[in-house]
Chains A and B, each alone.
Chain A
Amino acid sequence: MSELRFTKDHEWIRVEDGDVYAIGITAFAQGQLGDVVFVELPEVGKKVAKGGQAAVVESVKAASDIYAPVSGTVVAANDALAGEPGLVNADPTGAGWFFKMKATDTAEFQDLMDQAAYDAFVASLG
């Protein structure tokens, strides 16, 4: 099973290959957002600092920013979301991934919450 970490903004980040990570939003986040109708993805090659705005997800209700969980360069974007934004609701940690980044410092990944810590964080939100 591939290694997975989480942010307090309810994003997940998964090791793809060495210092390349896939990023998306959690099942909890898609449930809070409701039906996703549009995702604005970053351009490949864009450099983003940890915590910087990297993408936008829009539900019927509102637009929400997606932040980069680690610093690095965008190396891929999930173009399938343009035609089928509902993938974010249907399969948030699989086919509903947003973009991939090549990280500048893999230690930033290790500092994020693991599954148990994230589950406890979500439970603490009541």
Chain B
Amino acid sequence: MAQSETPPEALQKTPLHALHVALGAKMVPFGGYDMPVQYPTGILAEHLHTRSGAGLFDVSHMGQVTLHGSDAVAALETLVPGDLAILKEGAIRYSMFTDDAGGILDDLMITQRGTSLFLVVNAGCKLADIAHMQAKIGRRTNVEYHEDRALLALQGPAAAAVMARLAPNAAGQKFMTFRTGDVAGIPCFFTRSGYTGEDGYEISVPAARAADLATALLAEAEVKPIGLGARDSLRLEAGLCLYGHDIDTTTSPIEADLAWSISKRRRTEGGFPGAARIQRELAQGPARRRVGILPDGRAPAREGTEIVDANGAKIGTVTSGGFGPSVNAPISMGYVAGAFAAPGTPIGLVVRGKTMPARVASMPFAPHRYFRG
């Protein structure tokens, strides 16, 4: 995980900081915030609980932004390759800010709210993202940063039953859609989405009510607090990218295997930064590609591990890796040269000077269980 070098006194706190400490969390710096990496039960139990019950995550460090005005869709399409014009009110898209070289500045979720767009961006990138939008499209759309809102994620197969009890307007909501309504009597926005591979919700709440909401959710029998450690192993098993590790300005969306997030219209028309490179890679195939990796043995291959071919020549690098508690085996993702990207391809991982056998694997490692209605 990207742990900043910020000294503790300079770290920001989310509105749930005191609750994390009271719950016995081990706190670490992440994205400029003092965040819970785990609670006393530990990462393994937290991970497995999220896949069997419901886990509550504080993701208030992420940036929540609204773009106001009728030109917001066309304006934001000049900065991201996602198809926003096609979105109906209440629908959500995953996309990314690209730079002129086709690299990724950040990845984000975009909700069409009718007269505005609601964005959720990464903590470590949010100030740069806002400056980028103000500089590039600030004359076409009013960029509002919601510093006064917290964000909670409720994830897992029991999340829907919990929301059914606490949020009357959540009934029947489908994956990747947005609604407004009370949760535990508190006015919120909530999306049926998340970053664990499980069914679940992300709930945006006024900061002043965030602790009340978290306390109400934790009072439900199925819900336990989950830290960033399990959030990382859950998203890795789900095959999802972590910005600053699996994607950054040196990786294009096509190399990162995110071509699915770019519609036919946007591929054809372009009109976003770096379109020329992205169109070329779509036509010719990228030189390297993000893939899943399953080591044959039990040793985890972590970020930075060198990937080699049968002759020991370097063909890539691991960008995320560790142990997958639900897979009950080590799992990694990384970039390999195009010729080695097919699932099943034997590769080697250089761990502590020794080459360990592994195979390219299709992702997700743990099946997605989203609610598509």
Contact = CB atoms under 8 A, between A and B. Distances in A.
A pairs with B:
yes
Contact of B37 (A35, A37, A38, A61): A61
A52 to B, nearest CB: 14
A60 B299 contact: no
Report the interface size class on chain A. Answer: 10 to 19
Interface string B33-44: 000011000111
A58 B297 CA distance: 14
B2 to A, nearest CB: 14
A38 B298 CA distance: 7
B43 A60 contact: yes
Interface stretch (B8-16, B257-265, B322-330, B358-366): B322-330
At the interface, is chain B mostly helix, strand, loop or mixed? mixed
A84 to B, nearest CB: 11
Interface in B71-128: none
Contacts of B270: none
B196 to A, nearest CB: 15
A81 to B, nearest CB: 10
A58 B42 contact: no
Interface string A32-66: 00110110100000000000000010111111000
B229 A40 contact: no
Contacts of B42: 34-35
A37 B44 CA distance: 9
Contacts of A37: 44, 298, 300, 323, 330
A60 B323 contact: yes
A59 B37 CA distance: 13
A34 B233 CA distance: 14
Interface in B266-306: 298-300, 302
B372 interface: no
Contacts of A34: 38, 42-44, 229
A82 interface: yes
B300 A61 contact: no
B70 to A, nearest CB: 47
Given A58-B323, A60-B229, A61-B229, A38 B300 contact: yes
B20 to A, nearest CB: 17
Interface in B292-345: 298-300, 302, 322-323, 325, 330
A78 B325 CA distance: 23
Contacts of A82: 298
A34 B300 CA distance: 15
A82 B322 CA distance: 16
Most buried by A among B37, B233, B299, B302: B299
B323 A38 contact: yes
Interface in B43-77: 43-45, 47
Contacts of A58: 299-300, 323
B238 to A, nearest CB: 16
Given A60-B229, A60-B323, A60-B325, A35 B43 contact: yes
B43 A63 contact: no
A89 to B, nearest CB: 8
Contacts of A56: 352
Nearest to A58: B300
A35 B298 contact: no
A60 B233 contact: yes
A63 B42 CA distance: 16
Nearest to A53: B352
B43 A61 contact: yes
B44 A38 contact: no
Contacts of B43: 34-35, 59-61
Interface of B: 37-38, 42-45, 47, 229, 233, 298-300, 302, 322-323, 325, 330, 352
Can you list the 6 inter-chain pairs with the closest CB atoms, starting with the nearest? A35-B44, A37-B323, A60-B43, A38-B298, A35-B42, A34-B42
26 contacts: A34-B38, A34-B42, A34-B229, A35-B42, A35-B43, A35-B44, A37-B298, A37-B323, A37-B330, A38-B298, A38-B299, A38-B300, A38-B330, A40-B299, A40-B352, A58-B299, A58-B323, A59-B43, A60-B43, A60-B47, A60-B229, A60-B233, A61-B37, A63-B300, A63-B302, A82-B298
Given A34-B44, A37-B330, A58-B299, 5 more contacts: A34-B229, A38-B298, A38-B330, A58-B300, A61-B322
